[in-house]
Amino acid sequence: MTYDIQPAGSHFIDGAYVEDTAGTPIPVICPYSEKQIATVHAATPAIIEQALTSARRAQKDWAAMTGTERGRVLRRAADLMRERNHALSVLETHDTGKPLQETLVADATSGADALEYFGGLAGALTGEHIQLGEDFVYTRREPLGVCVGIGAWNYPTQIAAWKGAPALACGNAMIFKPSETTPLCALKVAEILHEAGAPAGIYNVVQGMGEVGQALITDPRVNKVSLTGSVPTGRKVYAAAAEGIRHVTMELGGKSPLVIFDDANLEDAVSGAILGNFYSSGQVCSNGTRVFVQRGIKQAFLDRLTERLKDVKMGDPQDESVNFGPMVSQRQMEIVQGFIAKGLEEGARLVAGGDRVGDRGYFLQPTVFADVTDGMTIAQDEIFGPVLSVLDFDEEDEVLARANATDFGLAAGVFTQDLTRAHRMVAGFEAGTCYINTYNLAPVEAPFGGSKLSGVGRENSKAAIEHYSQMKSVYVAMGAVEAPF
């Protein structure tokens, strides 16, 4: 099967595509051809109202089903997603520009994993029993109600499923707003869930910019918001949620350290640095963009890295042999070009890349800077593009302190053959997701999320259940009630 690029309607509400052309048109631009390939319309107040009303209504019946019944729907949706992986990946590649080689293995498949995993957990969710002499307390694990998910543009299918799967497993309804830059694939997630048996309204998708997100999260009928986005957006969304004391999950930006000791396996360390800087053309939140390399291995590391970059193949991302795609948008390309210029201006040594490639498609070369120092802009700010900075270090204590000298705390990695040093380093890292001798894997079984400015809460794993459900304590007396008078 193949999907039409232009969706049948901008939004998916109450089990069907809907349209309201009164909303601001949002052009969908293919990052490879730079052509407009579809148009969606931002949600109007009428569309937002429809989404909220239907989610509110649907949630009660969904929560009344058994966990096993809800799980069955999610697992069926996982199967449908896997069957349609190729079509979904082609669409994701049109929308994001990520090479088909990547989207075939990292987007719908990862979404399907989340649906399958939380589908499996749904029937096993329980409260507990606490004996207090004769009396006892039991806890009921209850859904939060209506959850709003707001997505970034780098992993649209994955984000839609990572938020939807645990929310639905726990008996919530979800209204998902994709990024305005990549609005297409979340609609397919909604369509598939509906086809798998999710009741109308339990997973709605509405399009729009920040205002639509704000309108959703400030509505009194909404109980939770889960955002994947930048720190500045996180601040606004968190503040809006705080007004109504709503639950939040914040998956925000990072500037993560990747520390490579002299004794590291060089080939693996270079592979880790490539995965942590150039996969998805560097547009990954957990990227290890500050690569601290111990002085003894520095030259060998730079030589091998630049050699491996010769195997980069750019081109039409729909061609499965292409392994490096364009940036998602002209704007993002220009932001990254600005950072590269800043790196040069502040005295970093350009070892590879640095330029735009061709004049069609938002392609930037994978870029490597050496001799980067901690105070440089490229070592401090999240770039969200294919720019790797190599910083030198001598001692373990020194590098740990420098690795942590950032307000972000999403991820961190270490390459070394010294077992105790590896564990000492991860114990010291101020980051939510750490790696030893690998980088950037995010299996659904493991919690994923950040500390410090990089976020609040965790996605994936059993930990996500705590963020999509709440406990009700029920005290049961077995004897007479004693009162003071």
- Residue closest to ligand NAD when measured from CB atoms: 213
Neighbours of 141 (CB within 10 A): 17
What strands lie across the sheet with 146-150, from one edge to the other?
16-18, 11-13, 203-205, 173-177, 146-150, 224-228, 247-251, 455-456
Please tell me which residue in 102, 251, 396, 459 is annotated as part of the active site.
Answer: 251
Q: Three-class SS of residue 34?
A: coil
CA-CA distances (angstroms) from residue 227 to 153, 185, 242, 251, 456? Answer: 12, 17, 14, 6, 10
Give the separation between CA 397 and CA 412, rounded to whole angstroms: 15
Give least dist CB 180 to ligand NAD, A: 5
| Of 153 and 393, CB closest to ligand NAD | 153
| Of 107 and 251, CB closest to ligand NAD | 251
Does the footprint of ligand NAD cover residue 151 (CB under 6 A)? Answer: yes
Give least dist CB 186 to ligand NAD, A: 10
Strands (E), 282-432: 290-294, 349-352, 367-370, 387-393, 411-415
CA-CA distances (angstroms) from residue 139 to 130, 135, 160, 248? Answer: 8, 14, 30, 22
Member of 31, 111, 253, 409 binding ligand NAD (CB under 6 A)? 253
Does the footprint of ligand NAD cover residue 277 (CB under 6 A)? Answer: no
Member of 57, 82, 236, 342 binding ligand NAD (CB under 6 A)? 236
Member of 150, 196, 264, 412 binding ligand NAD (CB under 6 A)? 150
Member of 44, 157, 207, 228 binding ligand NAD (CB under 6 A)? 228
Maximum CA extent, the chain: 86
Q: How many residues contact ligand NAD, by CB under 6 A?
A: 28
Per-position x/- string for 169-198, each x denoting binding to ligand NAD as judged by CB under 6 A, each - no binding: --------x-xx------------------
Member of 24, 53, 139, 230 binding ligand NAD (CB under 6 A)? 230
Does the footprint of ligand NAD cover residue 215 (CB under 6 A)? Answer: no
Sign of torsion, CA 458 461 463 464? positive
Give least dist CB 439 to ligand NAD, A: 15
CA-CA distances (angstroms) from residue 163 to 150, 187, 219, 225? Answer: 9, 14, 19, 10
| Of 167 and 270, CB closest to ligand NAD | 167
Give least dist CB 339 to ligand NAD, A: 13
Member of 139, 214, 271, 404 binding ligand NAD (CB under 6 A)? 214
Does the footprint of ligand NAD cover residue 468 (CB under 6 A)? Answer: no
Does the footprint of ligand NAD cover residue 210 (CB under 6 A)? Answer: yes
Does residue 34 carry a catalytic annotation? no
Give least dist CB 308 to ligand NAD, A: 25
| Of 186 and 291, CB closest to ligand NAD | 186
Does the footprint of ligand NAD cover residue 237 (CB under 6 A)? Answer: yes
Q: What is the 3-state secondary structure (H, E, C) of 398-441?
A: HHHHHHHCCCCCCEEEEECCCHHHHHHHHHHCCCCEEEECCCCC
Q: Where are the alpha helices (DSSP H) in 65-184?
A: 67-83, 85-96, 100-106, 108-122, 156-169
Kind plus residue range of the DSSP H or E element containing 143: strand 135-143
Per-position x/- string for 366-395, each x denoting binding to ligand NAD as judged by CB under 6 A, each - no binding: ----------------x-x-----------
Give least dist CB 212 to ligand NAD, A: 7
| Of 85 and 287, CB closest to ligand NAD | 287
| Of 261 and 448, CB closest to ligand NAD | 448
Q: Where are the alpha helices (DSSP H) in 107-226?
A: 108-122, 156-169, 185-195, 210-217
Give least dist CB 84 to ligand NAD, A: 23
Torsion angle, CA of 197/199/201/202, rounded to 10 degrees? -80
| Of 227 and 293, CB closest to ligand NAD | 227
Does the footprint of ligand NAD cover residue 32 (CB under 6 A)? Answer: no
CA-CA distances (angstroms) from residue 142 to 235, 245, 365, 369, 467? Answer: 28, 17, 49, 50, 11
Q: Which of residues 400-419 bind ligand NAD (CB under 6 A)?
A: 410
CA atoms in the 13 A half-sphere facing the CB of 333: 22
| All residues at 6 or more sequence positions from 278 whose CB lies less than 8 Å from its CB, including other chains | 312, 324, 366, 386, 388
Give least dist CB 55 to ligand NAD, A: 17
Give the separation between CA 108 and CA 78, rounded to whole angstroms: 9
Does the footprint of ligand NAD cover residue 430 (CB under 6 A)? Answer: no
Token reading at 367? 């870029």
- Beta bridge partners of residue 140, listed in sequence order: 472
| Of 97 and 450, CB closest to ligand NAD | 450
| Of 212 and 399, CB closest to ligand NAD | 212
Binding site for ligand NAD (CB under 6 A): 150-154, 177, 179-180, 209-210, 213-214, 228-230, 233, 236-237, 251-254, 285, 382, 384, 410, 450, 455
Q: What positions carry a catalytic annotation?
A: 251
